[in-house]
Amino acid sequence: MDKPEKDMDAQEKKIQKLADDIDPSEDIIPDSLAEATTAPLADEALGGNATQDDIKKDK
């Protein structure tokens, strides 16, 4: 939906506005200082769940 706004009909304009409102990638201004200074973590940075095998290894 990268059409110029002048070429869109009313429904397309409404859809584009709603899409822009919910698209988090468009948010360039952080909501707070904490959000601005916190580095995003990689998916594996938090680790996983311990299993019975992990418990046995520690003994």
pLDDT at 2 (0 to 100): 63
This model's pTM is above 0.85:
no
> Which among 13, 14, 48, 42 has a CA at the least distance from the CA of 5?
13
Which residue carries 């822009």 as its tokens?
Answer: 20
With a cut of 80, say whether residue 1 has pLDDT above it. no
- Give per-residue pLDDT as tens, 10-37: 898 898 888 877 766 656 777 788 877 8
pLDDT at 41 (0 to 100): 73
pLDDT at 3 (0 to 100): 66
Give the Cβ contact number of residue 13 at 10 Å.
Answer: 13
What is the spatial distance between Cα 16 and Cα 21, in angstroms, rounded to a whole number? Answer: 9
First to last CA, the chain: 58
What is the spatial distance between Cα 56 and Cα 9, in angstroms, rounded to a whole number? Answer: 65
With a cut of 70, say whether residue 55 has pLDDT above it. yes
